[in-house]
Amino acid sequence: MNMKVNLAGVTLNNPVMTASGTFGSGEEYSELVDLNRLGAVVTKGVANIPWAGNPTPRIAETYGGMINAIGLQNPGMDVFIKRDIPFLKKYDTKIIVNVCGKTTEDYIEVVERLSDEPVDMLEINISCPNVKEGGIAFGQDPKAVEAITREIKKYAKQPVIMKLSPNVTDITVMAKAAEAGGADVLSMINTLTGMKIDVNRRTFAVANKTGGLSGPAIKPIAVRMVYQAACAVKIPIIGMGGIMTAEDALEFILAGATAVSVGTANFVNPYATTEIIAGIEDYMVKYQIEDLSELIGAVR
Ligand SMILES: Cc1cc2nc3c(=O)[nH]c(=O)nc-3n(C[C@H](O)[C@H](O)[C@H](O)COP(=O)(O)O)c2cc1C
């Protein structure tokens, strides 16, 4: 039975990875989860300089999910490279660094700096709904998506994953724009912009007023978008959004995702990633699937 998958020439031992921002850089989970089991660890967003993030409160629970407005708090690339990459290198897993920025130059600075580091892939977050400049400012305009993808590809030594925003009318337009700019892989979806009001405090549940909705509540939207994008482009897709179980992950794979990321589930069940891998194995045994690739995009 073969669970290995190929993303732009990078072979993952299995299709399950962590979703950016929900697993730190692995160290906080490593006492509970054997990182060697994961297809890849995707790090929290890293910027060229440290970012303080948004004022608190920054998270709130919702039905079937949560709203967050962390605002991409991170220690900046210098600390990240010194502290987190050597930690992750100890494990037999792929390292995917999520990159954030406010301007094209910011992104390029990080991408250039990472070019000589032992990083397997870069995931470019152009879809964070919680920072005013950058992030989503790029991700909602197809011309901007294509332009920033093209710029980043000029400097990147590793394959580039463009992380798309679901906060658009037609995801296929964005997927095609990233592909036209030279993206090697797409990942989707980032969070959907949401709002929660605390009726007792009579104010917004998160200080940023709006935040990104994640968790099972968004899964049917995410599966639909992965399906649409998979029909529209030739490059591989990493699917995510509300994956809690192996069945959830398999929905994304059948819809066309080559790999999947597990995010909010880690907060509820820190063992979610490895349980999902085991569940996919059981499914393959049950249905006599020799190679996971038989399942990718099998529903059309
Ligand atoms: C607390 C939190 C922090 C996040 N931080 C990032 C981030 O730094 N960069 C990024 O691209 N996505 C970030 N995301 C989005 C997730 O990677 C993922 O796209 C989204 O949550 C949908 O997956 P899920 O429903 O499994 O959580 C964050 C999500 C959460 C809940």
Q: Three-state DSSP class for 140?
A: coil
Q: Pick the residue whose CA is nearest to atom 29 on ligand 1.
A: 21
Q: Pick the residue whose CA is nearest to atom 3 on ligand 1.
A: 21
| CA neighbor of 246 nearest in space, from 211, 290, 277, 209 | 277
Per-residue pLDDT tens digits of the chain, which is 300 residues long: 999 999 999 999 999 999 999 999 999 999 999 999 999 999 999 999 999 999 999 999 999 999 999 999 999 999 999 999 999 999 999 999 999 999 999 999 999 999 999 999 999 999 876 665 556 778 889 999 999 999 999 999 999 999 999 999 999 999 999 999 999 999 999 999 999 999 999 999 999 999 999 999 999 999 999 999 999 999 999 999 999 999 999 999 999 999 999 999 999 999 999 999 999 999 999 999 999 999 999 999
Return the H-helix or E-strand segment holding 189: none
Q: Measured in angstroms, how far is the CA atom of residue 28 from the centroid of ligand 1?
A: 16
Q: Pick the residue whose CA is nearest to atom 4 on ligand 1.
A: 21
**Total Cβ atoms within 10 A of residue 105:** 10
Cα 139 from Cα 176, distance rounded (Å): 12
**Total Cβ atoms within 10 A of residue 282:** 11
CATH 3.50.50.60 fits 5-294, yes or no: no
**Total Cβ atoms within 10 A of residue 243:** 30
* Ligand 1: nearest atom to the Cα of 187: 19
List the domain boundaries for the chain.
5-294
* Ligand 1: nearest atom to the Cα of 218: 25
Query: Which protein residues are within 6 Å of ligand 1, measured from CB?
Result: 19-22, 44-45, 68, 70, 72, 98, 125, 128, 163, 190-191, 214-215, 218, 240-243, 262-265
Tell whether pTM > 0.85.
yes
Q: Measured in angstroms, how far is the CA atom of residue 190 from the centroid of ligand 1?
A: 6
| CA neighbor of 37 nearest in space, from 293, 205, 278, 297 | 278
Cα 235 from Cα 257, distance rounded (Å): 10
Q: Measured in angstroms, how far is the CA atom of residue 238 from the centroid of ligand 1?
A: 13
Residues catalogued as catalytic: 128
Instruction: Determine if residue 155 is left, alpha or beta; phi over 0 gives left, psi from -120 to 50 gives alpha, anything else beta.
Output: alpha
**Total Cβ atoms within 10 A of residue 236:** 22
